[in-house]
Amino acid sequence: MVDSVRASIRAAWAALLGGDVGPGAVPAEWAGRLAALLTPAMADHLLSGWTLLDGAPMVPAAAARQSRLLNRLARTGGLGWARRAAEAGLPVVCLKGMGAAYTLYDDADCRGMSDCDLLVGAAERDRLLALLRAGGLDFVPPRARSRWGFVHDSSFLPLASADGVSQIDLHQQADAWPVHRALPAQAVFAAARPAATPAGTILVPAPTHALLLCATHAARDLFGPPAVTKLIDASRLLARFGQTIDAAELVRLAAAGGVARPVAAFFALLADLGLPAALLPASLAARPDALPAWCRGEYRRARAQLALLYPHPLSTLASIRREALLTAQPSTVLARYRLRLHGLLRPQTGRPVAPTARTALTPRKEL
């Protein structure tokens, strides 16, 4: 890759992360990957005025318009259910794309999303599930079943309407173990704040919690392609709510949740990819050379792959290496593989299990 192309990609990343960078030009392949990862509408919004190297629009106008409509359809379907839950006395916190759309973007239609992530308390879970099912939603089996079944402990199989317009990802924790031992659902609810929408108020995570979850979700994704959206959301959180983010509390939660190194790597990636230095609190400004020596090579690989937006997917061996060296603590890696091994023997379906007094011979009743 020639130096001028590398420079254009560096400038585009700086613009994505909030830098004061004028419109430039990027390679068509890179632009295509960006639109696929973010949605064309989000890519067009974040890099407004940018072109391809040959001068053509980075995102065709028709593709951006259609993408905005699809984003709106996904968001309004989920928003309707969040409001119906609240009106039924079932509080939910809107995570990920739904929360970001109404707090980080002036035009919510520009924030790409495919489903609505709702955090629900344990006491309200079954009533919310009954409400969703009464409205025509039901669990959607995966197209390809994992060999070890459903291994997530923070969420369930997604629910969707028959026409696919409403898609809900129901969470019992904001992120998987070990994060929720430091940031349990109760703490997320206690600190959640209201956000205005055209349909009424919703609850979203507090800025400190939202920023931590950007980092932990990106690490859970092995700093792979889905991490691009988390990096961009994090940059906008820092730009809009930096004065209210408690950096010391975030560092404390990361340590207590067993994700200190992955979170430090996330903020190092933000800085290396072009986040304006003034946006990052000093206590979060981790440098790659502050990471343990044995994981710096993996960090450099992740940084290079993110910069190019992953022209090649991570192989199975590369994913194992990434998780072991950079995105999880050794104890977490071992626990995850124990869970996967258990899943080989007794695969879980991802459906909630009804609470009941059980003996060793009592079958689990799924809802």
pLDDT, average across residues 75-86: 93
- Dist CA 286 CA 161 (whole Å): 44
If one compares 227 and 330, the residue with the highest pLDDT of the two is 227
Considering the domain architecture, whether residues 245 and 339 belong to the same structural domain is answered as yes
Considering the domain architecture, whether residues 40 and 76 belong to the same structural domain is answered as no
Considering the domain architecture, whether residues 316 and 213 belong to the same structural domain is answered as yes
Which CATH number fits the domain that encloses residue 154? 3.30.460
Q: Tell me, what's the pLDDT at 290?
A: 85
Query: pTM of the entire structure?
Result: 0.91
Domain-embedded: residue 301: yes
Q: Tell me, what's the pLDDT at 149?
A: 54
Considering the domain architecture, whether residues 336 and 273 belong to the same structural domain is answered as yes
Question: What is the domain extent for residue 212?
Answer: 207-346
Domain-embedded: residue 95: yes
The label of the residue with tokens 């690989």 reads: 301
Q: Tell me, what's the pLDDT at 288?
A: 87
Considering the domain architecture, whether residues 280 and 251 belong to the same structural domain is answered as yes
Considering the domain architecture, whether residues 217 and 128 belong to the same structural domain is answered as no
Structure tokens at 188: 């997320």
Confidence of residue 225 (pLDDT cuts 50, 70, 90): very high
Tens-digit pLDDT profile for residues 268-297? 999 999 999 999 998 898 788 889 999 999
User: How many domains does the structure of the chain reveal?
Assistant: 3
pLDDT, average across residues 177-195: 96
Considering the domain architecture, whether residues 322 and 334 belong to the same structural domain is answered as yes
Considering the domain architecture, whether residues 212 and 311 belong to the same structural domain is answered as yes
Q: Are β-strands 200-204 and 193-197 bridged in parallel, bridged antiparallel, or unpaired?
A: antiparallel
Task: Report the first-to-last Cα separation within the chain, whole angstroms.
Answer: 53
Domain-embedded: residue 46: yes
Considering the domain architecture, whether residues 214 and 341 belong to the same structural domain is answered as yes
Tens-digit pLDDT profile for residues 28-42? 999 999 999 999 999
Tens-digit pLDDT profile for residues 122-134? 999 999 999 999 9
CB 92 within 8 A of CB 333: no
Which of 36, 59, 82 is the last residue in one of the domains?
Answer: 59
Q: Tell me, what's the pLDDT at 289?
A: 85
pLDDT, average across residues 129-150: 77
Which of 141, 175, 205 is the last residue in one of the domains?
Answer: 205
Q: Tell me, what's the pLDDT at 28?
A: 98
DSSP string for 269-283:
HHHHHT--GGGS-GG
DSSP string for 59-117:
S-HHHHHHHHHHHHHHHHHHHHHHHHHHHTT--EEEEHHHHHHHHT-SSGGGS--SSEE
Which amino acid is it at 8? Answer: S
- Dist CA 119 CA 300 (whole Å): 34
If one compares 85 and 156, the residue with the highest pLDDT of the two is 85
Confidence of residue 356 (pLDDT cuts 50, 70, 90): very low
Lowest-confidence segment of 132-141, 241-250, 267-276, 342-351 by average pLDDT? 342-351
The label of the residue with tokens 């020596």 reads: 293
Domain-embedded: residue 363: no
Residue 86 has pLDDT above 70, yes or no: yes
Residues found in the chain = 367
Structure tokens at 90: 């079932």
Domain-embedded: residue 359: no
Considering the domain architecture, whether residues 104 and 35 belong to the same structural domain is answered as no
